[in-house]
Amino acid sequence: MPKQSDVLATDFLVKIAEEFGTPVYVYHAEKIKTQYEKLQNAFQKTNTRFFYACKALTNINILKYINSIGCGLDTVSIQEVQLGLKAGFDPKNIIFTPNCVDLQEIIAAKDLGVIINIDNLSILEQFGHTFGDSYPICIRLNPHIMAGGNFKISTGHIDSKFGISIHQMRHIERIVKSTKLKVTGLHMHTGSEIKDVDVFLRGVEIMFEMTQHFPDLESIDLGSGFKVAYQQGDPETDIELLGKKLTAAFNHFAATYPRPLQLWFEPGKFLVSQCGYFIVKANVIKQTTANVFVGVNSGFNHLIRPMFYDAFHLIRNISNPKGTERIYTVVGNICETDTFGWDRKLNEVKEGDYLVFYNAGAYGFEMSSNFNSRLKPAEVLVKDGKPALIRRRDTLEDLLKNQIEL
């Protein structure tokens, strides 16, 4: 868990719940800045750029704030590119790394002037034949490294759909040579929640080997995957150690490359996970022969990570923080099995109490839905100690607005 000074106080969260209602997502702006500065400090001795992987959280106000602190943007869809531009990012500070899209989406990104990262041979060849050397591109490689906290978030292994295999380099070279493509960047991303810093070192060594095929490189992009703690004692990526080891390796290699090189990263969860809180209300306390359930006014339609990834989120009762601890199973109000946490120790919960899920800033609201025709929650941004509504709660009209009655 983050240090207490980085955590919004429980009584403050209760006031937000009372003012804006529940369920509600709350984001702490200054925590994002703290995480960004931690990365900057760890890599201050090498030429490094960071691009926020906005698929983690794309509220326009979050994007504007991240732009204001000097971070770039990593996008995976043309819509995320458009949101980034609307938030004020310079196109030169936006990376576009889509997967399984057609050439037209790539051309749309080119027309917007952003950095394009191509991850399959078919699109690489189509783009090369269409544009040749008129628009520089980056290439995403698959390094065949198994890494990450869950198979579903491992993206660099042999069976992954992401990237072009390093064993297809001969094919890449033929396309680049025949179409005169100018390749200015190499990219890889092995997965999320990587605890072992040596995974990044293995990856960058592979990237160093691949550079011999590309004389015009300006950057090597290692993606991200930095793990953050979700509970007390949880292991996380040692950013200081990573910075020290990668800086030494990268600076040594960069001195041998014929032109200046930058090291790029695309942190998403690392920047916004710990800034987020998800506040719900206890609807019912239901005792069965085997469990005491706390049924809350939310479900996997709002926070799917525990069900989808078996992810752990610390849950606390902020209405009764000093009550006697009891064991509960926290579940949602969706007509599916939507268990947030089994056998959790919580201060005694009564119907109407507010519970908070910590580390809810990444892939929380962003993966939400209207399943069961439930309404999406509100979002609140806390900046300089003041909460402000940055997304209103859905209404019935929102469920109907795109439907056409016959």
State yes or no: is 138 an active-site residue: no
First CA to last CA distance, the chain: 52
326 is in an annotated binding site: no
180 φψ region: left (φ > 0), alpha (ψ -120 to 50), beta (else): left
27 is in an annotated binding site: no
User: For 291-395, where are the alpha helices, taking DSSP H only?
Assistant: 305-308
Which among 100, 138, 275, 335 is annotated as catalytic? 335
149 is in an annotated binding site: no
Positive/negative CA dihedral, 109, 110, 116, 118: positive
Quick one: which of 63, 78, 75 has its CA closest to 32?
63
305 is in an annotated binding site: yes
Instruction: Report helix, strand or coil for 343.
Output: strand
Tell me the chain's radius of gyration from C-alpha atoms. 23
Quick one: which of 359, 306, 354 has its CA closest to 331?
306
Tokens encoding 142:
């698959």
Contact 226, 269 (CB under 8 A): yes
- Residue 185: strand pairing partners: 138, 219
Tokens encoding 217:
């490189």
Contact 254, 261 (CB under 8 A): yes
Which are the contacts of 7, defined by CB distance < 8 A and separation ≥ 6? Answer: 1, 358
Contact 221, 266 (CB under 8 A): yes
363 is in an annotated binding site: yes
Residues annotated within a binding site for pyridoxal 5'-phosphate? 225, 363
Residues annotated within a binding site for substrate? 305, 309, 336, 363
Please identify every residue annotated as catalytic: 335
Residues annotated within a binding site? 225, 305, 309, 336, 363
